[in-house]
Amino acid sequence: MNRCLCPAVALDHCYHIETSNSVCVSQRGKSFILEGDVVFTCWVFVVDDGLLKHATYSRRCDYGLYVKENDSAYLIELKGKFINDAIQQINATINLLRPLLGNFSSVNARIVAYQSTPRSIKYSLTKLDRLMRREFNGDLDWTAKNELISKISI
């Protein structure tokens, strides 16, 4: 059963706003769900084929979420296979949006990828998590399954 309350965002729109206690983005069988104990307002941005569609650098994450109530942002990459590609896409998005991202209370990175973590990638994951914590007061979470659920407190 698909737990997503909304279908994948239409690619001809850059964003939409949801008010719910659960917001989901999905693509090619991968899903990220943001859940709260109370109803919250969330802006869902299509990054790769929307917000940054015309950016010259082509490696960007799939979605961005902004939660109004706690002023937090999430960069989401729903990767079919290679987690290293997902890390690179999150980093590229951070580099493109760095001036904007510094305005949020926290910025978090979320990766849903099919591949488990080889030792060579663990350093890259640790480095990205450290960046999210030190520079953006957030964190990194990822899974090698089809679905990742993050809980927020408001």
Give tens-digit pLDDT for 108-121.
Answer: 999 998 766 667 78
**Measuring CA to CA, which residue among 10, 72, 82, 11 is closest to residue 41?**
72
The residue extents of the domains of the chain are: 15-152
Q: Is 101 helix (H, G, I), strand (E, B) or coil?
A: helix
pTM for this entry:
0.85
Token representation of residue 12: 């001809």
pLDDT tens, residue by residue, 98-144 = 988 989 999 999 999 876 666 778 889 999 999 999 999 999 999 98
Reply yes or no on whether the pLDDT at 2 is more than 70: no
Ranges assigned E (strand) in 7-71: 15-27, 30-46, 63-67
Q: How confident is the model at residue 12 (pLDDT cuts 50, 70, 90)?
A: very low
